[in-house]
Structure formats: structure tokens, C-alpha cells
Amino acid sequence: MREVMIGNFAIARGLTEAGLELAAAYPGTPSSEILPGIVEFKKREKLSIHTEWSTNERCAFEVAFGGASAGRKAACMMKQVGLNVAFPPLLHGHAKTLKGALVIVSCDDPGPQSSQTEQDTRLLAAFFGITVFDPASPKEAGDMAYYALKYSYEHKVPVILRSTHRVSHARESIELFAPGSRKVELDEGLKHKGKGKLGIVSSGMTYAITMDILGELDLGNEISLYKVSRIFPLAPEVIKFINRQEKTLVLEETDVALESLLDHGEKVLGRRSGHVPGAGELTYDVVRNIVSNVAKEQGIKVPAFKADTSIEDALKEVKIVPRPPKLCAGCSHRASFYAMRSAFSDTIFPGDIGCYTLGISMGAVDTCLDMGSGVTFASGFYDAFAQDGKLKPILASVGDSTFFHACLSPLYDAVLRKRRFVLVIMDNSTTAMTGLQPTPQSGITADGIPSYSIKIENIIEGFGIEFLRVVDPYNVPLMLETIQEAYKYLEKESAGPAVIIARRECLLFSKIKEKDTRDM
């Protein structure tokens, strides 16, 4: 039986077929669909797998690590910057001997497409000596997920599966097997044998692109190509391959992971030699130009690319007006930001990570560093101006999911030190930007079972915050009035942070619930 699915579902399928027993994740593009995929296959085949959306990536890692330490086959999923949140336990736990198995799926974002920065999980893994696999397609992502869980269980160590957004979100026909009924071996090694003037070492999606380009330029007999699937530890055959070539070009995303491990001085070409761009996604056009230029340098004749030049010329004439991402039409955050921007003439707006980051285009977000930084930046700004005896309007914003993820400790710290700023918690009852996953106050588990709901206002009251208001942001006059009331409260010497919960359900979430109701 075969089924067309995205790479993230293929990863989910590979893990479930390998006997996965526990899965924990925090949503973040491009990794968000893996846990729903596990839930899908769990329900479809009535498998006994614990699945959860954890409060943050560190919680996800430690839940999975605990399960693996108790003898279970476990996995945790996150995006590349989410791995930074899970870094402390990863650093201390990667060398521990497990009773079960642990696969950390970290999805990188070359470009970046939907992240603050590029980050190469493979480089971090190699630096700390963690086994890491790098799939080149959705099918291979599923195969490697299966292989990685088996490998971890056999060797009793945590391993990393690194995907990228082009692998995670591409679609491919995947063959389905019963759990535990198949065997998978790594697809690694020599793919083209050239004449020795130039070899290419590549991995992941860059390998798939390189393979296509060598075929289209008819260079398969001129340029040798070696595919690496396990970045660390490297197979000794890779070194032997390099030694047989006059020059070797390394093509990889997004950093110098392979290039560093294959350090052969001037014999290896790549980012360090200036042949490969230092940042950005290695798209088809970029890789084609790199391969063509390096081949010509080595005296290899490169045929003209057989493309419809009239189409290429026509595309050059198309003038595209840049359109930055915006909040959805009717989004309640629009009303919140409008009120915030209108409240005072000279305001600092510390922002955070989520849908509400798009408040930048409305002039109501000044800073955006990482999850939770809206509160800590507000604290820093307050301390800076307080030294000069000034009470400057500071309106910080954060979403409900991010509040639980990273804001509890910073907010408690702000309360403890009587920092006077206004925090607007934009509560739309879901983790909207990454796919409408539940938050701790949603009262529902990853597999749709009703659960305990933790209310934001209960936490705020538990912190001893005196000024707390819950407002419907669609009522713009009331929202504006409440912000001004909060600032009036901050004029008291004894005041601490003032909190406004702007509560209005996400429109997309509302539409899904309406559809579900009609379908019943």
C-alpha cells in the first residue's frame, strides 16, 4: 500500500513503523506536522503511543529523554531554533546510556523562510559527537526516521534526524509497512564516477538538487558524486573518495558541517574557499551556477543549459512588488496593535515570536529576538529609563502559547523587581502561526482528548499582579481606554507590571470549529 504524504508525515510514519512508544513536541515551522502525523497513524492502526504538545522544546526533550531512560522508544520534534531551548538537557544528556531509544528530530530552515536565523543542526551535533542523519527526500526522511530509532535502540544513545523545510514539506509516494516489518539501510556512497578532476560531496536536499543538475548538464561521466547520509560519524569511504579527486566541491545546507569534517586544505572547495555563498538557501539556480563555475575552473566542458530562454527573458521583465507578510484580515491582533499604537505618542513596543510579530508592519512591534524576549526586553527598557528617573510608556506584546512557553520566569522576575510596563497578552486560544495546535489553556491533548485547562489569568493573579484586565480587542475604544488606565496605574511608586489579556478566538480556528460542527 502506498500513500502520498509530506516529508514530516513520512518521518512520523517511519518512527511509528519502528515501534515508537512516546512522542513529545513543540510546534515550529517546518517541524509542526510530525506529531499530528504520529497521532494520525496511532489512531488509524490503534497503536499505543503517548503523544503530547509540550509547553516548550526543553519540556519535549526531557519528557522524551525520561521515556527513553525508562526503556521506551521515544522521539521529540522541534525546529532548529527550538533546539536552542532544548540545548541544556541535550548538552548534558547526549552522552548518557539509554535503556530505550531517543530520536531528536530537528528541522532546519535554510533561507531562512520562517525563522529568525539560519542554523545548522548537523554542525552542533558533530561538534558534540552526536550521531546525525540528513535525508534528501520525503521517502528518505521516513526511512531514516525508522533507521534512526532502531540505531538508537541498538547503540543506546540519543541520535538526531535533521530535516529541512524542502524535505519536510515536499510530497512523495510512500510505501506503508506494518510496524517492525521492514529493514532499512542507509543510502550512502558513490552515485556518479567521473574522471577524477572534480568530485562533489553532498547531503540532504542539496544532494537531490545536485543529482538533477549533473543529469541535466550531462556531467555524470565527468564529475564524481558522493552522497553522505550520516554526517557524524563520517564513513571512512568519504575520505577515500576525496583522496581520489584532484578537487572536491562540498555542497550542503546551511553551514560548513561536512566541509569542516572533510578538512583537506585547498583540495576541498566550498564556503571557505568562496565557491559557495556564505548564507542563504542553495536553490536550483544557485547550485547550477556553482557546479558550472567550478567545473569550468577544473577544465571540464559544461554544455549550455537547455532551457526555454524566452521564458527566462520574460520572467526577468516581470516586476514584483515586495509584499511582507501581514496579519490575516479580521485578526484580533490588528485591533490590539491599533489600540496600542494609538494610546501614546512616544512608546516602546517590545515584541515576541508568533503571529503577533507581524505587528511590525503596523508600527506596534519594535523588537523581536526570541520567544519570551518581549517581557525581558520590557524589563530592560524600564530599568534603563528608571535610572534617569523617567517613566516611559512601554507596551510589550506576547501570544498565549508563547506566554506559557517562555514568559513565566521573566514575568515573575519583573513582578519581584517592581518593573513598571504594560504587557498585552494576545490570547487567540491556539498556536496559530504553526498550525492551530492547542495551548496549555486549550483543555485538549495532542490527540483530541479533553484535558485540564490552565487559565492565564490564574497565573497572573498567582504572581500577585495587581492590575489585570481581560478585554475583547474588537472593542477598540475599551481596549484603548484599558491601556491608558494601565499606564495611569504604573504612575504609582508601588506598582509592578500591568497585564491586559486581549482575548478573542483566532478566526481560522473559529472557521474550523464551524466546519466540524456542520459535518457532524
User: Residue 305's pLDDT is what?
Assistant: 64
- Using one digit for the tens of pLDDT, what is the confidence trace for 164-212? 999 999 999 999 999 888 889 999 999 999 899 999 999 999 999 999 9
pLDDT band at 311 (very low <50, low <70, confident <90, very high): low
Mean pLDDT throughout 135-151? 97
> Could you give the percent of the chain with pLDDT greater than 70?
96
Strands 73-79 and 50-53, by their bridges, are unpaired
User: Do 56 and 85 form a contact (C-beta atoms < 8 A)?
Assistant: yes
Q: In whole angstroms, what is the distance from residue 314 CA to residue 449 CA?
A: 53
Residue 29 has pLDDT above 90, yes or no: yes
pLDDT band at 486 (very low <50, low <70, confident <90, very high): very high
User: Residue 462's pLDDT is what?
Assistant: 96
pTM, 2 dp: 0.92
- Using one digit for the tens of pLDDT, what is the confidence trace for 49-98? 999 999 999 999 999 999 999 999 999 999 999 999 999 999 989 988 99
How far CA 342 is from CA of 307, 346, 398, in Å, comes to 53, 10, 18
Mean pLDDT throughout 278-305? 91
Q: In whole angstroms, what is the distance from residue 348 CA to residue 392 CA?
A: 8
Mean pLDDT throughout 511-517? 60
User: Residue 264's pLDDT is what?
Assistant: 79
Residue predicted with more confidence, 246 or 307 = 246
User: Do 156 and 99 form a contact (C-beta atoms < 8 A)?
Assistant: yes
Residue 429 has pLDDT above 70, yes or no: yes
Instruction: List the single range of 150-164, 355-369, 400-414 with lowest mean pLDDT.
Output: 355-369
Mean pLDDT throughout 391-400? 94
User: Residue 313's pLDDT is what?
Assistant: 65
Residue 309 has pLDDT above 60, yes or no: no
Q: In whole angstroms, what is the distance from residue 154 CA to residue 142 CA?
A: 19
Return the sign of the alpha-carbon dihedral for residues 162, 165, 166, 171.
positive
Which of 319, 323, 317, 251 lies closest to 284 in space, CA to CA? 251
The three-point CA angle 102-262-75 to 5° equals 10
